[in-house]
A = this chain, B = another copy of it.
Amino acid sequence: MTHILVSEVGPRDGLQSIDRVMDLEAKKRWIAAEAAAGVQEIEVGSFVPPKLLPQMADTAEMVRFAKGIDGLTVVALVPNAKGAQRAVDAGVDGMSLPFSMSETHSRKNLRKDHAEMVVEIREAAAIAREGGAHFAVGLATAFGCTLEGAVAEDQVVRLAEQAVEAGAQELGLSDTTGYADPAQVRRLVRRVKAAVGDDMLTTLHLHNTRGLGLANVVAGLEEGITTFDASLGGLGGCPFAPGASGNIVTEDLVLMLNSMGLDTGIDLDKLLQVRAIVEEALPGEPLYGFTPDAGPMLDYKKRIAR
């Protein structure tokens, strides 16, 4: 049975995109409940300046709490070397640094061009290595950009190589803007894997802006992707990419993967119950997903026992 890692990014990507600050205790209940449902990796926050994103101000506290949960891999987003140091200090298992393939988006999002980003990645990678934390680079806007439009695949491949050379231990392709289509996913995953090695590109971070999120997961599975980011209730998006909304929904992703006979290790019933925690803490905040309404198929248990 193929193991697929579902990495919950709601506490980071979801919460950073809404205006309200979620109560720390509620956040803790959320991730504890997801871990109890079998989720093995959670991105608990982002080490960005609290002035920029007050929603993420308690990330160090979240890391410390999450590290107490048995068997959970605790990751955080870091925008730069300074963030990497804070992440190491907090004790993360791993960190992910977003490297935007669209230079316009990179300048706007992190105020750095590509060359400056590679310098930052090198420095952050060294800090992570020294701190014993796993260091991943997420190739953001890899499938297109709401500011630039198309992003050349040659450019993604070239920058992926530079990220690895600068110290990335693992790469992800991020559809920050909800632009990816399944043919493009297959093509780009194949090209990047060919350039940096099969085991180096493990992760897809997909948004469901145009409803193609799970279709793109299928394309990724075909190309050997083994980790998918998702957000409970589809909470979130990218505040710096106008029009881009909503990670793929963890509940729907887990239903699909489990039904397909893939091993996520996640109990769907327990996962569905976690929504209540988020709903209670963020009343009125829209949550997405089809499975929460429809429920699993009658023969769901038979499917997953296969």
**Is A7 in contact with chain B by the CB < 8 A criterion?**
no
Q: Mark A209-248, 1 if CB is under 8 A from B, else 0.
A: 1111011011101100000000000000000000101000
Min CB distance A213 to B, Å, is 9
**Is the beta-carbon distance between B256 and A212 smaller than 8 angstroms?**
yes
- Bound together, the chains give a CA A181 to CA B255 distance in angstroms of 9
Q: Mark A284-295, 1 if CB is under 8 A from B, else 0.
A: 000001110011
**Is the beta-carbon distance between B150 and A182 smaller than 8 angstroms?**
no
Which has the most chain B C-beta neighbours within 10 Å: A183, A252, A296?
A183
Q: Mark A145-178, 1 if CB is under 8 A from B, else 0.
A: 1101110000000000000000000000000011
Min CB distance A116 to B, Å, is 25
**Is the beta-carbon distance between A182 and B290 smaller than 8 angstroms?**
no
Contacts of A211 in B (CB 8 A): 214, 249, 252, 256, 289-291
**Is the beta-carbon distance between B256 and A290 smaller than 8 angstroms?**
no
**Is A25 in contact with chain B by the CB < 8 A criterion?**
no
- Bound together, the chains give a CA A10 to CA B275 distance in angstroms of 33
- Bound together, the chains give a CA A218 to CA B206 distance in angstroms of 16
Contacts of A178 in B (CB 8 A): 294
Scan residues 240-278 of chain A and give those whose CB is less than 8 A from a CB of chain B.
Answer: 243, 245, 249, 252, 255-256, 259-262
**Is the beta-carbon distance between A298 and B144 smaller than 8 angstroms?**
yes
Min CB distance A239 to B, Å, is 16
Min CB distance A268 to B, Å, is 11
**Is A179 in contact with chain B by the CB < 8 A criterion?**
yes
Min CB distance A142 to B, Å, is 13
- Bound together, the chains give a CA A107 to CA B222 distance in angstroms of 39
Contacts of A51 in B (CB 8 A): none
**Is the beta-carbon distance between A260 and B299 smaller than 8 angstroms?**
no
Contacts of A298 in B (CB 8 A): 144-146, 148-150
- Bound together, the chains give a CA A164 to CA B144 distance in angstroms of 45
Contacts of A221 in B (CB 8 A): 182
**Is the beta-carbon distance between A149 and B302 smaller than 8 angstroms?**
yes
Contacts of A209 in B (CB 8 A): 290, 294
Checking B145, B149, B245, B294 against A210 with a beta-carbon cut-off of 8 angstroms, the contacting residue is B294
27 contacts between A and B (CB under 8 A): A144-B298, A144-B299, A145-B298, A146-B298, A149-B298, A150-B299, A177-B297, A179-B297, A179-B299, A182-B221, A182-B260, A183-B261, A184-B259, A210-B256, A210-B291, A210-B296, A211-B252, A211-B289, A211-B291, A212-B214, A212-B256, A214-B214, A214-B215, A215-B215, A215-B217, A218-B219, A245-B294
